[in-house]
Structure 1
């Protein structure tokens, strides 16, 4: 089967290709943060990284104690990339992901 590539078909094919590449790029950033309930298992050696010191440490959507804002958990020894931001006794892991600073320690050699 031969396809006749008119200007309109070429434009549509190029638009679809750009859309697929854009979706892939957006998804690769999302996949970077995937792991056990969102815990990242890979990162650079300079990025801030924390380790849970208790089992069932709640990951919250906001830096506040609220039973409705739990979005995941970490077990003792689980590590996650974090940011240098601390607020109300919580360490920011990522957008919409916070853990109690009381129950995490900075991984040795990381800049937090």
Structure 2
């Protein structure tokens, strides 16, 4: 038994299905827009420099030869939870004295 696709009933059915499809796509787009921008990940440690010219070092030790960068007062950086010899690890080869930085509020450091 073959389906007969002619007549008013078929046209109405196809139109309804097309309308439902359009509404579904629009609803999905609106839901995506309502989600907004990604929220801040508070599980990542982030610190700010408390003074100008805070030295970033290649190793957790005071040595004039291991200075690789400086932070301006208030400058922020992602950091790890690793503290060694009084220095917090920012990233591989980047350490800052804990005496010159503070964790940002709401961050887990």
- For the aligned pair, the TM-score class normalised by the smaller chain equals 0.5 to 0.7
- Distance of 2:76 and 2:41 partners within structure 1: 13
- Distance of 1:44 and 1:58 partners within structure 2: 26
CA RMSD between the two structures: 1.1
1:41-60 alignment, distance < 5 Å: 44-60=41-57
Deviation at 1:49, TM superposition (A): 0.5
Q: Is residue 2:66 matched to residue 1:66?
A: no
What per-residue deviation string (whole Å, max 9, x for no partner) do you get for residues 59-92 of structure 1?
Answer: 0000000001011000110000000000101000
Instruction: Mark the structure with the bigger radius of gyration.
Output: 2
Q: Is residue 2:93 matched to residue 1:90?
A: no
TM-score by length of 1: 0.60
Specify every segment of 5 or more residues in structure 2 that has no aligned partner in the other structure, as ranges: 1-39
Specify every segment of 5 or more residues in structure 1 that has no aligned partner in the other structure, as ranges: 1-42
Deviation at 1:45, TM superposition (A): 3.0
The alignment of Structure 1 onto Structure 2 pairs a total of residues equal to 70
What per-residue deviation string (whole Å, max 9, x for no partner) do you get for residues 17-66 of structure 1?
Answer: xxxxxxxxxxxxxxxxxxxxxxxxxx733200010000000000000000
Superposition misfits of 4+ residues, deviation over 4 angstroms: none
Q: Is residue 2:101 matched to residue 1:104?
A: yes
- Distance of 2:41 and 2:77 partners within structure 1: 12
- Distance of 2:80 and 2:49 partners within structure 1: 15
- Distance of 1:72 and 1:83 partners within structure 2: 17
